[in-house]
């Protein structure tokens, strides 16, 4: 049975919690990525996406010198590298996640996105995740 180890993106980009929004946005532009992990040493402290920057900071006219942790999604859900693709897709759908950090022995070793599921799998794992992510939330 295929696992996340087979499809995850191994190259991850991370910043220190004191990094600024400008530094993170610059990294995203340079690497052509939409999310960056916020790490304190080996510990995952959060995740920030290009959407977080736009919706939580730019839309309110906030200063780009602000520390990224003011806009980071904390308490990030992660899964083990040996998790099946189907289980990961189910978790992404259930939690409405577009990106999922992958760990091995508690250390982040990769990330899986909806795009990874769509491009690198056969047989509906991406559909399952996309259906969950696409569900409207109630406020």
3-class DSSP string for the chain: CCEHHHHCECCCCEECCCCEHHHHHHHHHHHCCCEEEEEECCEEEEEEEHHHHHHHHHHHCCCCCCEHHHCCECCCCCEECCCEHHHHHHHHHHHCCCEEEEEECCEEEEEEEHHHHHHHCCCCHHHHHHHHHCCCCCC
pLDDT mean values, one per 10 residues, the chain (139 residues): 92 97 98 96 96 95 94 94 94 94 97 86 55 51
Rounded-to-integer distance, Cα 37 and Cα 23, Å: 13
In this structure, which topology does domain 4-133 adopt according to CATH? CBS-domain (3.10.580)
Per-residue pLDDT at 125: 53
Question: Taking the domains of the chain in order of start, what are their residue ranges?
Answer: 4-133
């Amino acid at each position: 049975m295929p696992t996340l180890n087979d499809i995850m993106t191994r190259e991850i980009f991370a910043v220190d919690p004191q990094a600024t929004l400008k530094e993170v946005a610059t990294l995203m532009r340079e690497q052509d990525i939409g999310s960056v992990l916020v790490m304190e040493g080996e510990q995952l402290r959060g995740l920030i996406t290009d959407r977080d920057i736009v919706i939580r900071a730019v839309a309110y006219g906030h200063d780009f010198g602000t520390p990224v942790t003011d806009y980071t999604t904390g308490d990030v859900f992660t899964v083990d590298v040996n998790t099946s693709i189907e289980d990961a897709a189910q978790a992404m759908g259930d939690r409405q996640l577009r990106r999922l950090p992958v760990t091995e022995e508690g250390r982040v070793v990769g990330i899986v996105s909806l795009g990874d599921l769509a491009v690198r799998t056969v047989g509906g794992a991406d559909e399952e995740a996309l259906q969950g992510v696409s569900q409207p939330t109630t406020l």
